[in-house]
Amino acid sequence: MALVNEHFLKLPNNYLFADITKKVNAFRVMNPKADVLSLGIGDVTQPLCPVVVEAIHRAADELATAESFRGYGPEQGYDFLREAILKNDFLPRGIHLDIDEIFINDGAKSDTGNIQELIRWDNSIGVTDPVYPVYIDSNAMIGRAGIKGDDGRWSNVVYLPCNAENGFVPQLPDRRVDVIYLCYPNNPTGTVISKNELRKWVNYALKNDTLIFYDAAYEAYIQDPDIPHSIYEIRGARKCAIEFHSYSKTAGFTGVRCGYTIVPKELTAATLQGERIPLNPLWNRRQSTKFNGTSYISQRAAEAIYTPEGRQQVNATIAYYMQNAQKMLTTFRALGYECYGGENAPYIWLRTPNGTGSWQFFEELLYGANVVCTPGVGFGPSGEGYVRFTAFGTHERTEEALDRIARWAAQ
Ligand SMILES: *Cc1c(COP(=O)(O)O)cnc(C)c1O
């Protein structure tokens, strides 16, 4: 008899976005003529930039002849891309990485989910709350998160609340935690962490022998020059942190699939006997065993982003989304809403008025303005009383949604 991994049964049945779709569909059945505008799901809308499209065509042509055909590539990724990352994303910030510390992935979701394979099942984990659900669910799948209580909290997870009261910067935990997940700029709140605040986390990690998993998927949206793009801008971080990057939001690669993970060679974790084991060779072993590399075409597409034209084109798309964010902030604030984020990230985190519940506000907005947002509570208990809006829409749809919200709010 094959026994199932029962940890999967502890996961909530419905994924947040499935719940949202269900409610939107119910609305559509009753209001078939309504044009529902979504500022909900975090997917991009603008096409790939021209240099990326050209690189994809060129790579496809290379694969079309026996002379230039390529089969399996290195599991860690091609050096042409790893070198471009090193030179463009890290050297200008004074971070010197070895090429073997860069692992090309097929998007950051896979690696933020997979990385927990490197640590024992009984490590304690801490997450900011609200949180990108992958961090908890991937741990729940092997039993590390414990069981989910009626209050929405997992028994073995330390929640670090992020709310307006603490400026969305979590307090250091009052006990030791083995592993901490941090995501900045943050999804879902759109808020950022300063170098000083991040330094506190690195120091906590060094002092407590804690491992930090740092998700920098929205790093390209940072506008403020004082906000760190990488945790390795903080001294000592190489000894305690793994960092994840993605081209999904940077360059519209949600469908192309490519990103990278940094596992520094100085980073170690302990055996029960106290021996220090470097994690870089372990991750290399894991990837060589379970991953056959990101597609050549995607890696060439990513490389193109680092050309001068590529940078300029990618920045133009980011600026396009950030114009949406700016308009959203201006409109919401003029309507009297309290909102956060949206300045260095494509998300706006809006506090629902008068303590309205997240789901109730979601429904009121759907039925009143035919606009979809994401209920904050879907990202964790501290998200209750907030909703998330994304700036990834087109200008036209975003403006239309804002007009409708303004008319609805004025009623
Ligand atoms: C979108 C996103 C990612 C990136 O996912 P990909 O698999 O690279 O598309 C990673 N982390 C967070 C928090 C995200 O929102």
Residue-wise over 317-340: b if at least 16 C-beta within 10 A, else e?
bbeebbebbebbbebbeebebebb
> In sequence order, what are the residues at sequence separation of 6 or more whose Cβ sits closer than 8 angstroms to the Cβ of residue 13?
none
Looking up tokens 């002379």, which residue turns up? 67
Report the nearest atom of ligand 1 relative to the CA of 107. 8
User: Measuring CA to CA, which residue among 272, 263, 222, 265 is closest to residue 241?
Assistant: 263
How far does residue 2's CA lie from ligand 1's centre (Å)? 33
CB of residue 346 inside a 6 A radius of ligand 1: no
Secondary element (H or E) of residue 356: none
- Longest CA pairwise span in the chain (Å): 67
CB of residue 385 inside a 6 A radius of ligand 1: no
How far does residue 227's CA lie from ligand 1's centre (Å)? 20
Q: What is the pLDDT along the chain (411 residues), one digit of tens a residue?
A: 999 999 999 997 667 888 999 999 999 999 999 999 999 988 999 999 999 999 999 999 999 999 999 999 999 999 999 999 999 999 999 999 999 999 999 999 999 999 999 999 999 999 999 999 999 999 999 999 999 998 889 999 999 999 999 999 999 998 899 999 999 999 999 999 999 999 999 999 999 999 999 999 999 999 999 999 999 999 999 999 999 999 999 999 999 999 999 999 999 999 999 999 999 999 999 999 999 999 999 999 999 999 999 999 999 999 999 999 999 999 999 999 999 999 999 999 999 999 999 999 999 999 999 999 999 999 999 999 999 999 999 999 999 999 999 999 998
pTM equals: 0.97
**Beta carbons of 11 and 137 less than 8 angstroms apart:** yes
Report CA dihedral (280, 130, 45, 39) to the nearest 10 degrees.
180
How far does residue 44's CA lie from ligand 1's centre (Å)? 12
CB of residue 132 inside a 6 A radius of ligand 1: yes
Task: Please work out, in degrees rounded to the nearest 5, the angle formed at the alpha carbon of residue 40 by the alpha carbons of 242 and 327.
Answer: 95
Task: Please work out, in degrees rounded to the nearest 5, the angle formed at the alpha carbon of residue 98 by the alpha carbons of 96 and 102.
Answer: 105
> In sequence order, what are the residues at sequence separation of 6 or more whose Cβ sits closer than 8 angstroms to the Cβ of residue 303?
55, 80, 81, 84
How far does residue 182's CA lie from ligand 1's centre (Å)? 13
User: Measuring CA to CA, which residue among 311, 319, 345 is closest to residue 89?
Assistant: 311
